[in-house]
Each structure stands twice: as C-alpha cells, then as structure tokens.
C-alpha cells in the first residue's frame, strides 16, 4: 500500500445499492496517498459481500465488520480508530466525492496550520435525476472560523455534515463525541443527529481559519432511508441539531448575546414543533444550566421578516385551524 496520508472513513449499514459507487468514488481519486477504511455495522443485506469483492481487487481498502450492531456513532468512531493518515475524511456510504476532491482540499491543510478544516461546494441529488448545488459561500480561499460558527448557529447556509469536508485526524479523534450532554436524556450515540455538527463547531472553536473550495466536489444523495430524510418530518432533526448548538454555545462560548440569539431561534422552533415527543417543551430544556438570558428582540424581528420562516409559521397555523374546524 502507498504511504498513507489521508484516511477515508466509510461507516456502512445495509447499503448494498450504494456502497460500491461510494467506495469507487474514493479509489478513483487523483490524490493517491490514501487508505479506505470501511466498517460494516453487521449489515443484513449483501453490503459485506460487495465490500469484500472490492477489497480483493484493491489493497487500499481496509475492511472491518462489527460483531454486533453498535449504533451509528460508535461505528463512525470504529472507523476513526483504524485511521493511519494524518488527515481524515468521513464519507457516508450513500454519498460520493469527485476524483479531485482530495487534490483540491488537502493542500490547504498541509500548507496552513491555522486552517482547521476544508469543505467544498456540494451537489444534492437523488436517483431520479434531480440535483442542486449548495454551500456556495463565495470565492475559493481561506475564511475566519467565526464566520462558520456564526452562520451555522444563526443563518444555516454552511454545512453541518462532514461529508463535504476533510479534517486533521487528531481533531476528529478529539471532537467526534459519542454523546452530547443534555437535560432530556436524548441518546445522541444512537440517533446520530448533532454529533457531526458539534465536531465541526469544536474544531472551528480551536482554529482561527477554515478553507473553502468553490466547486461541487462532494455529492449528497437524498433517499428515504437516509437519517436526515427519516428524521425531518416531526422536528426530530431540527430540534436535536439545536440541542447540539445549545450545548456548544453554553459550554464553549458562554456568551450572553449568543445565547439570547439562540434562545430566539429555540423559542420559534418550539412554536413550530409544540407537539414534539422529545421532552423539549421550553427554552431551558435545551441547556444543562437553568440560567435564562431571555431572547434577542433584534433576532426575533429578523426571523419575523424572513419570508421562509413566515411561510412555515403561516402553514402551521393553517393546519392547526383546519384540525380545529374539522373537530368541531
């Protein structure tokens, strides 16, 4: 095997229809100093057999299988435990990267010790042929990590998933947490919604800069069995990402202005998902400490004037009114 510089980590479970395409997108990289670590979480379909066939033809593939299904986040960490490279990239087993992904991103980390991670513009697609580009934040180059933190917390146009990013391996080992402390006993190790974002935020908090490549070199596949699609309808996805954000702001920033701004978003979410089943009923449920800094009225005004949010609230109110009228 070529001297390893980058470890591509592919945790997988029941992805027989996608796993080969995913692995080959890595093996076709123009950057050659790689290893591909695949950890199968005891799949019940033909995923394992497909991976073995690929491994037999390419010794850059290192294949492991858990003795039992350990849940998603433990499987991510199992991949990371096997990594030999200085740099590591998590690639979800239903996603893809362009052949130039590593050759365009790794140099930013090699040449800049103050750059914590690199991400690229991304294409979202499905098997029907639909696609769209996302994460177009501006010209390619190096940016302040405060810009990433502020956007992810309050604007949400930057990525929360590492599928489009590459990090130093040591930072992933430190910042990929198995669980996130929370007041409502939500098991982040099993639902895996927020651990990825927190990994980004913790890394951003430790570095002054990140780098961005303005070319769609990563591709996220939308399908009904993905975690994000399965978890978006009842507020699970949005609320648990907000729990991760609240933990970060409370534990690492501890800034009253940030907390007030985040409280405003939480308050609006609780209006949208007032009937959620996750034990999240009031703003203080999102924090370990019971301190209450109130909300930011400037942030509230911004959200009220945001057309997308206004339409969501209006749609929710219409649905509630319709339910009441039908009940009468």
Domain holding 59: CATH number? 3.90.550.10
pTM above 0.75, yes or no: yes
pLDDT of residue 245: 97
Looking at the chain, list the stretches that DSSP marks H as alpha helix, in order from N- to C-terminal side: 19-27, 47-57, 72-81, 101-111, 145-150, 169-175, 188-191, 195-206, 227-230, 236-248, 256-272, 297-305, 307-327
Give the end of a domain, one of 59, 94, 129.
94
Here the tokens at position 187 are 């098991």
Structurally, how many domains does the chain consist of? Answer: 2
Residue owning tokens 């939500």? 186
The dihedral through the CA atoms of 54, 60, 61, 64 has a sign that is positive
The confidence score (pLDDT) of residue 32 equals: 95
Q: How far apart are CA 230 and CA 133, in angstroms?
A: 22
88: Cβ–Cβ under 8 A, 6 or more apart, which residues? 6, 7, 8, 9, 80, 166, 167, 168, 169, 172
Tens of each residue's pLDDT in the chain, 328 residues: 558 999 999 999 999 999 999 999 999 999 999 999 999 999 999 999 999 999 999 999 999 999 999 999 999 999 999 999 999 999 999 999 999 999 999 999 999 999 999 999 999 999 888 999 999 999 999 999 999 999 999 999 999 999 999 999 999 999 999 999 999 999 999 999 999 999 999 999 999 999 999 999 999 998 766 544 444 557 899 999 999 999 999 999 988 899 999 999 998 899 889 888 999 999 999 999 877 778 776 777 776 666 565 665 566 556 555 544 555 4
Q: Is residue 171 part of a domain?
A: no
The answer to whether position 129 is within a domain reads no
Q: What are phi and psi of 104, to 5 degrees?
A: -90, -25
**Residue 257 domain-assigned (yes or no):** yes
What span, in angstroms and rounded, lies between the C-alpha atoms of 249 and 314? 30
Q: Do the Cβ atoms of 175 and 97 come closer than 8 Å?
A: no
The Cα–Cα gap between 104 and 226 comes to 28
Tokens found for residue 7: 């470890």
The residue among 94, 114, 145 that closes a domain is 94
Q: 327 Cβ partners below 8 Å, 6+ apart? A: none
Q: CA-to-CA distance for 267 and 297, rounded, in angstroms?
A: 12
Provide CB contacts within 8 A for 90, sequence distance 6+.
9, 11, 76, 79, 162, 163, 172, 196
Q: Does residue 273 fall inside a structural domain?
A: yes
Q: Is 17 a domain residue?
A: yes
Domain assignment present for residue 146? The answer is no
> What letter would DSSP give residue 283?
G
Tell me, yes or no, whether 213 lies in a domain.
Answer: no
- Does some domain include residue 33? yes
pLDDT at 184: 95
What is the distance between the terminal CA atoms of the chain, rounded to a whole angstrom?
71
What is the domain range of residue 322?
Answer: 236-327
Among 57, 73, 94, residue at a domain's last position: 94
Beta bridge partners of 284: none
């Amino acid at each position: 095997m070529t001297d390893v510089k980058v470890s591509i980590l592919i945790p997988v479970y029941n992805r027989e229809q996608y796993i080969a395409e995913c692995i080959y997108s890595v093996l076709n990289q123009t950057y050659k100093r790689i290893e591909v670590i695949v950890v199968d979480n005891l799949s019940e379909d033909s995923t394992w057999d497909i991976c073995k066939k690929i491994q037999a033809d390419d010794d850059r593939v290192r294949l492991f299988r858990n003795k039992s299904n350990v849940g998603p986040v433990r499987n991510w960490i199992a991949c990371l435990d096997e990594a030999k490279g200085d740099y590591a990239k998590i690639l979800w087993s239903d996603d893809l990267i362009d052949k130039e992904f590593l050759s365009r991103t790794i140099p930013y980390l090699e040449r800049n010790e103050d750059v914590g991670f690199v991400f690229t513009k991304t294409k979202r697609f499905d098997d029907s042929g639909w696609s769209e580009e996302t994460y177009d934040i501006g010209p390619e180059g190096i940016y302040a990590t405060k810009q990433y933190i502020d956007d992810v917390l309050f604007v949400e146009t930057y990525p929360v998933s590492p599928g489009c990013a590459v990090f130093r391996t040591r930072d992933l080992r430190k910042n990929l947490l198995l669980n996130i402390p929370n007041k409502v006993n939500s098991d982040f190790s099993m639902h895996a919604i927020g651990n990825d974002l927190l990994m980004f935020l913790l890394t951003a908090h430790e570095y002054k800069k990140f780098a961005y490549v303005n070319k769609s070199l990563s591709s996220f596949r939308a399908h009904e069995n993905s975690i994000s699609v399965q978890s978006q309808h009842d507020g699970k996805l949005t609320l648990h990402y907000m729990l991760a954000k609240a933990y970060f702001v409370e534990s690492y920033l501890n800034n009253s202005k940030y907390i007030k701004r985040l409280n405003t978003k939480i308050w609006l979410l609780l209006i949208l998902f007032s009937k959620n089943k996750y034990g999240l009923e009031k703003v203080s449920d999102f924090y370990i400490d019971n301190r209450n800094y109130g909300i930011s009225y400037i942030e509230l005004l911004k959200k009220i004037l945001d057309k997308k949010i206004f339409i969501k609230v209006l749609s929710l109110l219409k649905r509630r009114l319709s339910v009441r009228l039908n009940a009468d």
